[in-house]
């Protein structure tokens, strides 16, 4: 518990540092607003419906180990096994998993804006993973 809190604090600090670096470089800072119902640069988001529509869960974390207890923003609908489209606004590769805690098969999301062949940073439909995603991480384990 304590370790997870520290990890989260470190990740938040990293996000702030990233924003400050962008401002310093003279680039637009990401309009980051965690779980405000709008996907922003820096956030990994899942939508309940395909085409990036319907309820959303937008979060500036590289890892959510268990979608089970999470709710889409401003709703009483759980995120687990409900996602139909996804987008990675983070600067790291994110894997979205079939099961909680990085279990089962995964869908690779390249860093924001990147694509290579059939692999991209965003998916308007999820194919086999439709209504089956339960966690995500920048690592291959949670």
- Expressed in angstroms, the distance from the first to the final Cα of the chain is 15
Q: Whole-number minimum distance, CB 58 to Ca ion, in Å?
A: 4
Is 81 near Ca ion (CB under 5 A)? no
**What value does the CA radius of gyration of the chain take, rounded to a whole number of Å?**
14
Residues in Cβ contact with 69 at an 8 Å cutoff, skipping those fewer than 6 apart:
78
Residue window 26-65: x/- pattern of binding to Ca ion, with contact defined by CB under 5 A: -------x--x-x-x-----------------x-------
Given the complex with Ca ion, which of 49 and 98 has the nearer CB atom? 49
Q: Whole-number minimum distance, CB 38 to Ca ion, in Å?
A: 5
Q: Whole-number minimum distance, CB 63 to Ca ion, in Å?
A: 17
Q: Whole-number minimum distance, CB 56 to Ca ion, in Å?
A: 8
Q: Which backbone phi and psi does 53 adopt, to 5 degrees?
A: -130, 170
Q: What one-character DSSP code corresponds to residue 71?
A: B
Q: Please give the Cα distance from 97 to 100 (Å, whole number).
A: 7
What is the binding site for Ca ion (CB under 5 A)? 33, 36, 38, 40, 58
């Amino acid at each position: 518990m304590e370790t997870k809190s520290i990890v989260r604090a470190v990740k938040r600090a990293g996000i702030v540092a990233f924003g400050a670096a962008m401002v310093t470089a003279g680039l637009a800072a990401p309009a980051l607003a965690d779980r405000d119902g709008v996907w922003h640069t820096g956030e990994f988001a899942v939508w309940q419906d395909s085409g990036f529509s319907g309820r959303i869960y937008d979060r500036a974390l590289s890892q959510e180990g268990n979608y089970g207890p999470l709710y889409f923003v401003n709703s009483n609908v759980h995120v687990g096994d409900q996602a139909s489209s996804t987008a990675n606004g983070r600067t790291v590769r994110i894997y979205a998993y079939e099961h909680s805690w990085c279990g089962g098969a995964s869908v690779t999301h390249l860093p924001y804006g990147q694509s290579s062949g059939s692999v991209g940073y965003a998916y308007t439909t999820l194919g086999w993973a439709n209504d089956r995603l339960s966690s995500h991480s920048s690592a291959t384990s949670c």
